[in-house]
Amino acid sequence: MSEPIRVLVTGAAGQIAYSLLYSIGNGSVFGKDQPIILVLLDITPMMGVLDGVLMELQDCALPLLKDVIATDKEEVAFKDLDVAILVGSMPRREGMERKDLLKANVKIFKSQGAALDKYAKKSVKVIVVGNPANTNCLTASKSAPSIPKENFSCLTRLDHNRAKAQIALKLGVTANDVKNVIIWGNHSSTQYPDVNHVKVKLQGKEVGVYEALKDDNWLKGEFVTTVQQRGAAVIKARKLSSAMSAAKAICDHVRDIWFGTPEGEFVSMGVISDGNSYGVPDDLLYSFPVVIKNKTWKFVEGLPINDFSREKMDLTAKELTEEKETAFEFLSSA
């Protein structure tokens, strides 16, 4: 058996974590021979609930879980981490302006970024899930200057998986038969699900999605809006936000960082935009197509971008720039 790795999940008493923790503990993220010390962080009023989660994890009798630590203290939670999955954030409440939401979250992620900087390993991989995920991730990264900014990513894999699934459903194939969808930009309703590079396996051979579907109107219209607004649709139906699918996407995202992406396939994740070749301004945390090898991501280069895509990519970049400016005003005063 290898040495245990230390994995933190924040917002650990919440519903996404409840769907996520078992998958981390049973080896489906870091491999079946990787022991784990699992650290659970939440706010003080949630410690009673967190104790219940701790009991359940113990009751799962998972052989890979060397230890489970439940805490409300950052100096305990962030110590010597290999992986930090930041799920906890201030949720948007009714009547709350996006600006107020940003302000509350800047405070949280500034503090957590500083804790990463002070206590975690410099090689730590940080995955931000809590919304607004892109800007929260940028805030954490800026607050942890001694950790390489490439080590920070945010979750757009749920959008990626949603896009994949919609195409698979429309064609009557499995999601595995659909590859290379792209989510560009912000994890918000301005995100752009791009299908121009998608390959679909039909009757044993790979074809482009436009050829496979022969329904350009759907791909440019209903498909895009369905993916963009899927989160809201789930809330409307369940009266709760996506948890099972969010947890599955986190597992996919982290597993790909750990083990790399399959040959000939790329995935979407929010990463620092510096040095991209797609005309996205530097210093934004923007979702791109990436390939991953040796725990290091690289942009997928040289994809042709048509006018339809360009407009949508610029729109979401503009939103992210505005969010960043608002967040940074709060960051300097927080």
The token pair at 302 is 């040289």
Q: Give the contacts of 132 (CB within 8 A, at least 6 positions apart).
A: 98, 101, 102, 105, 186, 187, 188, 323
Helices and strands (DSSP H and E) totals, the chain:
12, 14
CA separation for the pair 272, 85 (Å, rounded):
17
Catalytic residue among 160, 187, 197, 253: 187
310 is in an annotated binding site: no
31 is in an annotated binding site: no
Amino acid at 244: M
Task: State yes or no: is 187 an active-site residue.
Answer: yes
Pairing of strands 205-208, 285-293: unpaired
93 is in an annotated binding site: no
92 is in an annotated binding site: yes
130 is in an annotated binding site: yes
Handedness of CA 71, 77, 82, 85 (dihedral sign): positive
134 is in an annotated binding site: no
CA separation for the pair 201, 207 (Å, rounded):
6
> For residues 156 and 287, is the Cβ–Cβ distance under 8 A?
yes
Please give the backbone phi and psi of residue 298, each rounded to the nearest 5 degrees, phi first. Answer: -135, 145
> For residues 267 and 261, is the Cβ–Cβ distance under 8 A?
yes
Q: So which residues are the catalytic ones?
A: 187
Residues annotated in the binding site for NAD(+), as ranges?
42, 105, 129-131
Residues annotated in the binding site for substrate, as ranges?
92, 98, 131, 162
